[in-house]
Structure 1
Amino acid sequence: MDISQTDLDAFPPTRARILRLIKASGSASLRELAAALDQTRENARQQLQELKQGGWIRGQARAAPDGRGRPAMRYTLTSAGDHLFPKHYDDLTVILLDMVERRHGEAALHQTMRDLTDAGVAQWHQQLADLDLADRIQALRGIYFEDDPYTEVDDSGGEYRLIEKNCPYLNVAMQRPQMCSITVSTLTRLLGYRVVREKRFQDGDHRCVFRVLRHQPVDADRFAFELEADFQSAGE
């Protein structure tokens, strides 16, 4: 199974149950899991091996409390395994954004987005410094994470477009679309040309398409951040 798979229900039933048992107890031994599954230890061992190879669990030898006998192997979830279970980071992010705006005003929220843009530019600046435009765009396929298989570059028709088929921040972006201004502004500064979104997840397009406006160069040293609504109008 692909390590990117995050749907626990997509696992074979026995493996999904093992993951749930380990999650509930924090760790479990082969003996404990075999008993809970009502299976032989050999059958349980085979299932554990598949989960280890997939990167979902790890085994660690732990000494018995009395220090006697051979250390027992106990199994715990890896970070990838733990992320198979429900998380609410998106909800927390929206709450924090709303709290910043409510307590400190809209200008403070915009400053936060500007700071996040600065951080993104600083992260990429050195890596892109000696590249031409085509190579910079190719490199920025990894703007969200390295070797992103869901972002591609279209250079047909004499124009460059960065096509994002999977937004890792989609739930936040759907609720607070102004946060997408960070990506648009970051791309503009790093590429040295205005970037606009032609297609948007928020409009039901199932992707975002960022078009590079090569007829609209910007001074990356002076350009800082713009809200996308203003940005889009300027790019049309």
Structure 2
Amino acid sequence: MLQNIEQLSDVRRNILEALKRNGPVTIAELANRFAMTGEAIRQHLLILEKEGWVERKIFRASHGAGRPSTRYRLTSEGEHLFPKNYVSLAVEVIDTITEHFGQDALRHVLESMTEHRVREWEPRVNGLSLSERVNVLRDIYQENDAYMEIEQSGDQVCLIEKNCPFLNVAKRRPALCSVTVSAFTRLLGCRVVREERFQNGDGRCVFRVLVDQPIDPETSVFSYEDENLTHS
């Protein structure tokens, strides 16, 4: 999967950079800029459009006169090809909450995040067996998660995530992972512990479902992972 604009050919990268710097442009404007034929530019745009990185739109003259023009612009997916720094922003938000409002405020935020996930997923797992719930919750990070696996042997059940989508933030502020652990516990009705962690260099996170340790979802509350370990 393409991760950034540097992986594209020179021509397609130049086209995307032109759209980024100048906004919506016509084929003729691009052809003139890069000294290429309009047909050559069109073929590159068709490929970029097929990949979902650009889109065409009809623009009408602001004064109402003149023929409308077809211009190409970046899609939201195309925007993501350019460098972003979401990780630093997320970490800064977490640290600012803690610095200005204290650890209790951060705990309340994480608790609210857990409640949101529980409310979102509860209707999908209600009435299902434990095995069926586990299968549904393999998509808790992202739909059709190809990197979340289920490992089951007898009463032993594990959810194994090999591509955490929040890894760069979670490695710097691992308290965020307590949201997933608490949500799994509530939704599965059994205590869940993380036996392997990306933060420890394991290359994956392994969430073990302790089938012999049922919990009451109605009274279960958010807790940090370390607190769970303390009370084990």
| TM-score in terms of structure 1 length | 0.92
Letter in 1 for 2:212: H
SS in 2 for 1:28: coil
SS in 1 for 2:228: helix
16, 20, 30: which one aligns with 1:23:
20
CA distance in 2, matches of 1:177, 1:116: 15
Per-residue deviation, 1:157 = 5.2
Structure 1, unaligned stretches of length 5 or more?
Answer: none
SS in 1 for 2:222: coil
87, 96, 110: which one aligns with 1:90:
87
Per-residue deviation, 1:109 = 0.9
| Correspondence 1:198-217 to 2 at 5 A | 198-217=195-214
SS in 1 for 2:164: coil
CA distance in 2, matches of 1:27, 1:199: 47
Per-residue deviation, 1:110 = 0.8
Letter in 1 for 2:102: G
Structure 2, unaligned stretches of length 5 or more?
Answer: none
| Correspondence 1:13-162 to 2 at 5 A | 13-65=10-62, 67-156=64-153, 158-162=155-159
- 2:171 matched to 1:190? no
CA distance in 1, matches of 2:228, 2:163: 23
Number of aligned pairs?
A: 232
CA distance in 2, matches of 1:73, 1:29: 6
- The 10-residue stretch of structure 1 (59-68 or 96-105) with the greater mean CA deviation from structure 2: 59-68
Letter in 2 for 1:42: E
- Do the aligned partners of 2:155 and 2:211 also contact (CA within 8 Å) in 1? no
Per-residue deviation, 1:6 = 2.5
Q: What's the C-alpha RMSD, in Å, of the aligned pairs?
A: 1.6
- Do the aligned partners of 2:186 and 2:217 also contact (CA within 8 Å) in 1? yes
Large movers: runs of 4+ above 4 Å: 65-69
Per-residue CA deviation, residues 159-181 of structure 1 (Å, 9 max, x unaligned), is: 22111111111111011111110
5, 10, 13: which one aligns with 2:7:
10
Per-residue CA deviation, residues 173-214 of structure 1 (Å, 9 max, x unaligned), is: 011111110111011100011111121111112211111111
Per-residue CA deviation, residues 25-61 of structure 1 (Å, 9 max, x unaligned), is: 1211111111222211111100000011111110001
